[in-house]
Structure 1
């Protein structure tokens, strides 16, 4: 008996050809997505500051962690800069989205805030003008933000928030204040908004800790639970070097099960041992 090798039908050849085309398309899409993520990551690295300002009695540190699955890049940022009047400006925020557009928008918000802070003294007015500027832009994106202005002469820290996570004030003596007071709406949603300003004198040894929602909120943590954990870490590490405290706070994000990126900004202050207290809240 003669054995013949079975011949492949035309339909089988067509199927293999189609599978080959689909595989090539999937590979092209994966490579394009990878290139897009790498571009967004590069944009974000370049837009975040390479160093933060510090003064005698005030040391600063920050940390950033990209989205856990490695496929998305967020719009989280932190910043610190010297202002013409001798004060220091600090900001942290989260621009909507997880792509190149979000990273670019984040850069626009951060630079615009710097420019306005150099021209306007009141932090609330800075965010009000920034909000109107973003609203006038041709974009559907918005951002949350906290902006601080520190006066080294009086040691008063003036702060204002636009829909952002509350700031944690901790002292080495065990005191803690989670500043969840008046807060304006996120930037770029409605024009003509007012952003209240709170003022605290930074006395004694302690730390001011600012985070984005990727640190404190996720499938495994409610926001309040995440804030309580950040407050606990801040109190226990209020006398630590700011770099160590920033790393410990950023570590809280590993418990939340979040898929978002995360940023932390720490201002570590020292001086005579008495607590941080609120001086005044108002516009």
Structure 2
């Protein structure tokens, strides 16, 4: 890891990334793509050591309360968060200043901060987003080797349900010829239904690959799935979007099962929900696009 003093922390959409890079080792990670212009090795985590100070300044300046998002580009619960606790310090500020939270992770370390998630959710809204890609535990250890597996993430979702905290599952990516089966998708959706998940995010059924991400992904395919890289190249060439062969049919399966279970599946609706600030103390919803 290496430390930097950032100049700002919140994006125009009120998102933040405390860390840059990742140590989860997911073989398909889009954040490895060269388009993001990372100037250091991906596993050499850039730590924004002044993130809490910058966040407090930003929250004090805002004229209206809103949802604060984190985890879109880098998981807020990387291994080093256990020691550094920057994510927790930022959540404490979000709670103190009574903003909402939308947080995305693959890690069960989020349960360490359950007390803060509950406090935020009592006053405003706290939405936890969890990624699930495969129902197969041995396969999960290959695809996402350095983070807790699907079984543990489902346990986390059930704990959050019991605490009244809304959850959204990112069921993406679904990798062609690897986890693109009805059995896998139905297994995941069934667990989401039992966990009372609010909605399922998909962006279609498939994966995207671009420079940087593609090379690492193909290297891992050679290690774990001999011959699979060649099958990808024959099928998709150098395409950015790689839909699974039965994408239309599987997407219809997702829609049908979500509607049956009462889970939201429309991407636009899910993003609106995550960005809609709720003032539970005043019993009202505030603007989807508050002034900064």
* Bucket of the pairwise TM-score, normalised by the shorter protein: 0.3 to 0.5
Q: Which has the higher strand share?
A: 1
Q: Which has the higher helix share?
A: 2
Computing the radius of gyration over CA atoms, which structure comes out larger, 1 or 2? 1
**TM superposition score normalised by structure 1:** 0.32
